[in-house]
């Protein structure tokens, strides 16, 4: 029976993936959530609080004892309406939730991942300006400036654009982190598969829950059958929640494995593809700086 540890399993594509993991794989599924989740054993987790993130990691370790983790699936995420929000640790909320808390979980739990296990972190094609996602493209992956956008001279003066940048930059951080993880000697020795997963645009999920009402309404409508089906017919990046959830589960279970040297999976027309990520995401020096800066922000020694 495989053991899977997951965030973002209470709604959206995560709930679809959790259902498949719990039922088709007969897995033991540990889900971190602020409230309830439809599948798995739920452990309290608030990704906007590093103390909660540490307690979740400790709870997983206590529950499992000597048993390894077969798949670590870090799927939770969100986008805000501005960059004014701060966590209790003093960091911009979108960056803290989408990247920093997951980075901390990664550092705590990757040593527990089994040989030939998997780490899958959900990212977004919007990290790459070439995708044409229509969001403000990431200008950098400087963890300190993303944690404190008031210190960033390039922060957009329009709240919505600043929020978009916080989101796309946090997803760039995910791709960089996965690439840095994949070359660590211990990870390579244990043959752990590390993948940054882009589900494409999946309307109708809870991703937009913090946005203004008109944007939430549009997000919901675009996810329905009337508008969603024709959109998916003309745009390869649009996918159903079911297709995205199934793809996420298949990556976690090792049913879909990357070609040699690939760490970025993008769902296009319901199928996993393995394109190169953005030019900035392939910069090893940027990834190394992000890894080190994130460690300091998360209170780790290195």
Domain boundaries, the chain: 3-297
Distances in Å between the alpha carbon of 103 and those of 40, 187, 299? 23, 15, 11
pLDDT at 57 over 60: yes
**pLDDT for the residue 1:** 78
**Residues 5-19: tens digit of each pLDDT:** 999 999 999 999 999
Beta bridge partners, 133, equal none
Summarize the confidence of residues 20-45 as an average pLDDT: 91
**Residues 267-283: tens digit of each pLDDT:** 998 999 999 999 999 99
**pLDDT for the residue 221:** 45
Instruction: Select from 10, 7, 13 the least CA-distant residue to 246.
Output: 13
Distances in Å between the alpha carbon of 285 and those of 148, 179, 271? 21, 11, 31
pLDDT at 251 over 60: yes
242 contacts: CB under 8 Å, gap ≥ 6: 16
Asked if 103 and 298 touch (Cβ cutoff 8 Å), the reply is yes
- Model's pTM, two decimal places? 0.92
- φ, ψ (nearest 5 deg) of residue 115: -60, 140
**In the block, residue with structure tokens 């020694």:** 301
**CA-based angle 217:270:223, to the nearest 5?**
10
**pLDDT for the residue 70:** 97
**pLDDT for the residue 24:** 73
**pLDDT for the residue 219:** 45
Summarize the confidence of residues 158-174 as an average pLDDT: 97
Residue 144: other Cβ atoms inside 10 A: 14
Distances in Å between the alpha carbon of 34 and those of 43, 59, 83, 181, 234? 8, 14, 22, 27, 37
**Residues 66-76: tens digit of each pLDDT:** 999 999 999 99
210 contacts: CB under 8 Å, gap ≥ 6: 78, 79, 80, 81
Instruction: Select from 95, 97, 137, 83 the least CA-distant residue to 280.
Output: 137
**pLDDT for the residue 213:** 52
**Residues 168-226: tens digit of each pLDDT:** 999 999 999 999 999 999 999 999 999 999 999 876 555 655 555 545 444 454 444 54
**In the block, residue with structure tokens 């200008």:** 139
280 contacts: CB under 8 Å, gap ≥ 6: 138, 140, 141, 172, 286
Asked if 79 and 130 touch (Cβ cutoff 8 Å), the reply is no
**Residues 103-148: tens digit of each pLDDT:** 999 999 999 999 999 999 999 999 999 987 788 999 999 999 999 9
- Residues 3-297, CATH architecture: 3-Layer(aba) Sandwich (3.40)
């Amino acid at each position: 029976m495989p053991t899977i540890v997951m965030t973002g399993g209470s709604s959206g594509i995560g709930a679809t993936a959790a259902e498949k993991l719990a039922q088709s794989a007969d897995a033991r599924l540990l889900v971190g959530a602020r409230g309830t989740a439809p599948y798995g054993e739920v452990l309290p987790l608030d990704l906007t609080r590093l103390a909660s993130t540490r307690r979740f990691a400790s709870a997983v370790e206590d529950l499992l004892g000597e048993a390894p983790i077969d798949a670590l699936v870090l799927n939770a995420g969100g986008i805000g309406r501005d960059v004014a929000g701060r966590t209790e640790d003093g960091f911009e909320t979108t960056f803290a939730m989408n990247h920093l808390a997951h980075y901390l979980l990664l550092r705590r739990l990757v040593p527990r991942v089994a040989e030939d296990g998997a780490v899958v972190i959900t990212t977004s094609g919007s990290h790459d300006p070439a995708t044409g996602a229509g969001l403000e493209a990431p200008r950098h992956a400087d963890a300190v400036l993303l944690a404190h956008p008031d210190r960033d001279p390039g922060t957009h003066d329009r709240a919505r654009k600043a929020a978009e940048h916080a989101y796309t930059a946090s997803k760039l951080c995910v791709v960089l982190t996965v690439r840095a993880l994949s070359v660590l000697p211990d990870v390579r020795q244990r043959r752990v598969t590390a993948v940054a997963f882009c589900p494409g645009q999946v309307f109708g999920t809870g991703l937009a829950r913090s946005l203004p009402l008109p944007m939430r309404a549009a997000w919901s409508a675009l996810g329905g059958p009337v508008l969603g089906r024709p959109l998916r017919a003309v745009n390869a990046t649009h996918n159903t929640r079911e297709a995205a959830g199934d793809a996420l589960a298949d990556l976690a279970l090792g049913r879909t494995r990357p070609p040699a040297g690939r760490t970025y999976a993008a769902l296009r027309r319901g199928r996993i593809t393995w394109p190169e990520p953005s030019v900035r995401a392939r910069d090893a020096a940027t990834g190394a700086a992000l890894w080190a800066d994130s460690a300091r922000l998360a209170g780790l020694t290195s």
